[in-house]
Structure 1
Amino acid sequence: MTFQPFVPTGGLAGWRFLQNTISAQREAHGQGAVLQRDLDYFAQNIGKIDTAEQLVGDYRLLSVALTAFGLQDDINSKFLIRKVLEEGTIETDALANRLSDKRYRDLSRTFGFGDFPVPSTKISDFADRIAERYKSRSFEIDLGKTNDSMRLALNAERELVSIGNDGTSNRTKWFAIMGTAPLRKVMETALNLPTAFATLPIDKQLETFLERSEAIFGTSDVRELGEPKLLGRILDRYTALDGLSNGTTAPSSPALVLLRGF
């Protein structure tokens, strides 16, 4: 039997429920038979993989690998994935570094096919590290089947911290946010930006993100936005405003009135 993650409602109330129950829900979800079979197969076979070509050629291994990085929708883009993995991340012109979505770079760097003489698949604890990522992402994916907004919030909770701790410039970090669709959606909603905003020139979009972040959260420094207190405000604001647009938060809700003052 597979446990289905859930929230009883959307908006800020749903987010609070998820925060209070997530440990128990993750534990129950992690015991699912299908998930365990996928991870057992990965653990038994990933150590046999020497090249990106071999990984891409094994659908079950590739599925776990891509899901662990939130790239499961790219399962059929085998040429792209192989090229990302083979070129690595050391060279500035490597494909993974040229793509705006940092998840490709993380995937390539973690597997190490293009960065090291011996790939990370040969490291003894590699399967365990990927398994933790896979379980986390799988939980979010299944939660998204009943409430996609909560999936996006959980993703942002992790990814904002990751991008904030990256050793790149703040401008580059914002471009990473803008180039990662799930994270961009959260930030656009939290900053109350209209859908048509995405049609503006890229530099104007960046300028607007910075200005709105300064006005609402008091900073546009992505590292600061990933710190617990500010991150909590971002996710509270996102879930509340998203709930309002989807009809799960009343316009007169005390929580929403408070958030409007942020």
Structure 2
Amino acid sequence: MISLTGLNTRMGLQLVDATRDRQIEMIRDGAQDKRAIAAFEERIGEVQSVEQLMEDRELYVFVMKAFDLEDQIFGKAMVRKILESDASKPDALVNRLTDPRFREMHKVMGFSKEGDANENTGDVAWRAQMVERYVGQRFESAQAEQNEKVGTVLEFRRKAGEVRSWFDILKDKDLSEFMRTALGVPASAAGLDIDKQVELFKQKFDLEKLKDPAEREKLERTYVAISDAKAGVQSSANAALSLMNAAVNAGAGGRFAPITLDISAITALPRRTY
């Protein structure tokens, strides 16, 4: 992967956008991912039941990674129940979970209500889409591991077009953080009742605007600018603290070393926006 070390969100996104095709190619050609893709393409067509998927660890891990559920790989019993859930029943496990990743996996995988049949796995087009999903998620995850804010923007780009209500946003940790930041909603709002949060966001932004690419780009620019400004304040505060600690430590030995702090330089915010 291309390193984002030392870059702010704006510069990180610029680098990611400029190297995306190259990084995608690197993922496809990487030894581990190349083996995983080949195994999926070779064996998924034989999978008809949830049980068969669970028994093939390589295929199971591939599917979990494709839906950004790598952190849930060891919860096989729960994943099995989710995939076997009857989504038409309000009390089904898949409908009781707040994490949208599980519902997306259940929907796309498309096992029967009993979990013993699947019409998707034999579909060449579906398999190709799953490989694209896997590669795209691996790319996105790699960026997020290096720069959390860059990862959040990439997730917003991927999911924004599918948003139908504020509940879709609020049930998604990263999307809700993105919108709170971009719209200037305090983080403490996350502690409010969800209906009150919805009313608050409705006053700030008309969700219909998300259908407009220009509006999505505007939100992205605002999110990036605010995130980098906050990061600049934090960096300045850390620099000031380090200098003051140095002064204290110097005096601890009986010799005081005067240090002059240029407060305006320390607290100045970046003037350039994304």
Q: TM-score, normalised by structure 1?
A: 0.81
Q: Larger deviation: 47-56 or 14-23?
A: 14-23
Query: Which of 195, 201, 206 pairs up with 1:209?
Result: 201
Cα deviation, 1:176-223, whole Å, max 9, x if unaligned, reads 21111122221222122222221111111111122222xxxxx233xx
Whether the aligned pair in 2 keeps the contact of 1:7 and 1:18 (CA below 8 Å) is: no
Query: Which of 17, 36, 39 pairs up with 1:38?
Result: 36
Matched ranges for 1:104-123 at <5 A: 104-114=102-112, 117-123=117-123
RMSD: 2.5
Whether the aligned pair in 1 keeps the contact of 2:143 and 2:150 (CA below 8 Å) is: yes
Once the two structures are TM-superposed, the CA of residue 86 in structure 1 deviates from its matched residue by: 0.9
Report the Cα distance in structure 1 between the residues aligned to 2:103 and 2:3, rounded to whole angstroms: 29
Once the two structures are TM-superposed, the CA of residue 102 in structure 1 deviates from its matched residue by: 2.9
Residue 173 (structure 2) aligns with: 181
Residue 78 (structure 2) aligns with: 80
Report the Cα distance in structure 1 between the residues aligned to 2:13 and 2:33, rounded to whole angstroms: 25
Report the Cα distance in structure 2 between the residues aligned to 1:209 and 1:62, rounded to whole angstroms: 38
Whether the aligned pair in 2 keeps the contact of 1:56 and 1:62 (CA below 8 Å) is: yes
Whether the aligned pair in 1 keeps the contact of 2:112 and 2:118 (CA below 8 Å) is: no
Q: Does 1:150 align with 2:137?
A: no
Q: State the aligned residue count.
A: 239
Residue 184 (structure 2) aligns with: 192
State the AA in 2 paired with 1:111. Answer: M
Matched ranges for 1:19-58 at <5 A: 19-58=17-56
Matched ranges for 1:210-229 at <5 A: 210-213=202-205, 219-221=206-208, 224-229=209-214
Secondary structure (helix, strand or coil) at the match of 1:120 reads: coil
Once the two structures are TM-superposed, the CA of residue 244 in structure 1 deviates from its matched residue by: 1.7
Residue 245 (structure 1) aligns with: 230
Secondary structure (helix, strand or coil) at the match of 1:183 reads: helix
State the AA in 1 paired with 2:25. Answer: E
Cα deviation, 1:52-101, whole Å, max 9, x if unaligned, reads 12223332212211221222211122222112211243444433334333
Residues 29 and 176 (structure 1 numbering): CA distance in 2 closer, same or farther, change over 3 Å?
same
Whether the aligned pair in 2 keeps the contact of 1:155 and 1:183 (CA below 8 Å) is: yes
Residues 146 and 9 (structure 1 numbering): CA distance in 2 closer, same or farther, change over 3 Å?
same
Report the Cα distance in structure 2 between the residues aligned to 1:93 and 1:185, rounded to whole angstroms: 28
State the AA in 2 paired with 1:11. Answer: T
Matched ranges for 1:91-106 at <5 A: 91-106=89-104
Once the two structures are TM-superposed, the CA of residue 135 in structure 1 deviates from its matched residue by: 0.2
State the AA in 2 paired with 1:150. Answer: V
Whether the aligned pair in 2 keeps the contact of 1:89 and 1:114 (CA below 8 Å) is: no
Secondary structure (helix, strand or coil) at the match of 2:111 reads: coil
Report the Cα distance in structure 1 between the residues aligned to 2:136 and 2:6, rounded to whole angstroms: 21
Secondary structure (helix, strand or coil) at the match of 1:158 reads: helix
Report the Cα distance in structure 1 between the residues aligned to 2:64 and 2:36, rounded to whole angstroms: 13
Q: Does 1:255 align with 2:255?
A: no
Residues 20 and 87 (structure 1 numbering): CA distance in 2 closer, same or farther, change over 3 Å?
same
State the AA in 2 paired with 1:29. Answer: I
Whether the aligned pair in 2 keeps the contact of 1:56 and 1:81 (CA below 8 Å) is: no
State the AA in 1 paired with 2:110. Answer: G
Residues 69 and 126 (structure 1 numbering): CA distance in 2 closer, same or farther, change over 3 Å?
same
Q: Larger deviation: 15-24 or 228-237?
A: 15-24
Report the Cα distance in structure 1 between the residues aligned to 2:94 and 2:22, rounded to whole angstroms: 36
Whether the aligned pair in 1 keeps the contact of 2:49 and 2:118 (CA below 8 Å) is: no
State the AA in 1 paired with 2:47. Answer: I
State the AA in 2 paired with 1:33. Answer: A
Give the number of the structure whose alpha-carbon radius of gyration is greater: 2
Secondary structure (helix, strand or coil) at the match of 1:30 reads: helix
Whether the aligned pair in 2 keeps the contact of 1:101 and 1:176 (CA below 8 Å) is: no
